[in-house]
Amino acid sequence: MRKTYAGSCHCGAVRFECDLDFAAGTSRCNCSVCAKGRFWKAIVQADAFRLKQGADALVDYTFGSRSIHHLFCRNCGIKPFGRGRLDEIGDFVAINVACLDDATPEELAQAPVRFQDGRNGAWDSPPAEIRHL
Ligand SMILES: [Zn+2]
């Protein structure tokens, strides 16, 4: 069921809302930036995301093709979301589900997780090893 969740970085400078359905799935990726940040995400369309506060606190980190914007709080260093555009889904926001303040432990525990082999550019398939992600 699609619900509206409130999220924030650690210090609270950055606050957002998003509409998402955990049953639609979450994902973890082994690419260089997701692996180091232990990023657990839920992808939503850009119009299902609302930045409520803290645009001025966000630092935009990009690398490689610079097509994905990895946004983190300049004060506390937490990455509450990233955003970008892909041909398949258009403008999207990758929500850090660990930053959702009102998602219950049960909702998080029951959310399906899809593993992605981003390290090899194969986001549609899982890597050979997923236990470390
Ligand atoms: Zn912060």
Q: φ and ψ at 101, to 5 degrees?
A: -75, -25
Given this model, what pLDDT does residue 2 score?
95
Q: Scan for tokens 């650690």, then name that residue.
A: 10
Token pair belonging to 101 = 């303040």
Which of left, alpha, beta for 99 (phi over 0: left; psi -120 to 50: alpha)? alpha
Distances (CA, A) of 14 to 10, 29, 126: 8, 24, 32
* Average pLDDT taken over every residue of the chain: 95
The Å distance, Cα 45 to ligand 1 centre, comes to: 23
Q: What is the mean pLDDT of residues 59-81?
A: 95
When pLDDT is averaged across residues 27-56 and rounded to a whole number, the result is: 96
pLDDT of amino acid 120: 92
Ligand 1 centroid from CA 15, angstroms: 9
Q: Is the pLDDT of residue 28 over 90?
A: yes
CA 1 to centroid of ligand 1, rounded, Å: 29
